[in-house]
Structure 1
Amino acid sequence: MPRTKGVLLTAVAVCCAAGLTGCSDDNTPSSVSSAASKAASAAESLGSEASAAASSLASQAQSALSSATAEAGRQLDEIKNGVDVTSDVALGSPGTEDGRATVDLTVTNTADSTKSFAVQVDFTDSGGKLLDTVVVTVSDVAAGRTGTTTARSNRALSGTVKARVARAVRY
């Protein structure tokens, strides 16, 4: 459950409990006050559980992102005799497909023979915070020609998503 829903449910339950408690007087059975107290306690518990669940999901997402970043680095580091060609990669405008962020990219082979490319694309939010990273390949681009592919995030991303070339290797 998202943190904002848990906080909202907690606030509603506490207000209801406060309303019931405020109605208590000498003519009101103690069970009403007891019910109000139990409702407030349940609301606090629900808020704590929602907060813990949100924290756990955030931790899992960060772990997955760290793993994807490490894997992207490993893939690019394994390329033997590669040349850094980040400036030879152009990105289109990010979009979405089935909830996943996408971006078209074009590589230009400035070498004098056919080459392949491995490109790490980072998907970020509007503030530059890393949301996901992927490595795509464009194989067998003839000398002096361009090749294209589409990078897709590993998972659904929401909000404004930007894309940037983190690394590009020609081999």
Structure 2
Amino acid sequence: MPLSHLGRAGKAHHRAIVSALSCVLGAGALVGCDGGGQDTGFSPRPTPTSPDTAAFSGMPPSALASAAASAIASAHASASAAASSAYARASEFEASVEAEAARASAAAEKALKNVTGRGNALSEVGMTGLPRNQTSGLLAVLVTITNKTDHKASYAVQIDFEDSNGKVVETEFVGAENLAPGKKEQPIAFSRQPPEAKLTPRLAKAQRY
């Protein structure tokens, strides 16, 4: 409808609508738009101002980065210390196991020193070969000692490793001490010969004492 056909109130309302649309569509026009003196329902937005840096708390970015680096370094140091401690404990445990195996072997060899024949406990001892991929290529047998009596007993076992001609190339001793009735232990007898050596383990002696 032409503006000439509008009354004064109509013209004022039209100007208010145009002014409001201009404020909405014009880039950055919201600031400073007053609707031509009319109440359009829009309130002016305040002009953005720079933040008051005095109101901030904490450390500046460079200090934060430094603190983060320090925390990471501390975490790495703690992890390294923990790894070293775990390795030390594992090494101590391995040394303890080896020492106990050496002691048990010496005790078994001593117990068999004066035994004639093959001993009194052959029926309580069995052997099972272990795959070389589980023993770093070494020939090894799992010796199963079962106390079939009704009282505690100790056992000494001699394993001979023979070549293809039946010649004993190596002898190992394993044992079990204070084994309760019905219980079993499974020490491992290793041959320390080179992996390429073709040897056969044989149960030579087994003594209960």
TM bin, normalised by shorter chain, reads 0.3 to 0.5
What is the TM-score of this pair, normalised by structure 2? 0.40
What is the TM-score of this pair, normalised by structure 1? 0.48
The structure in which a higher percent of residues are strand is 1
| Higher RCO (C-alpha 8 Å, min separation 6) | 1
Larger radius of gyration: 2
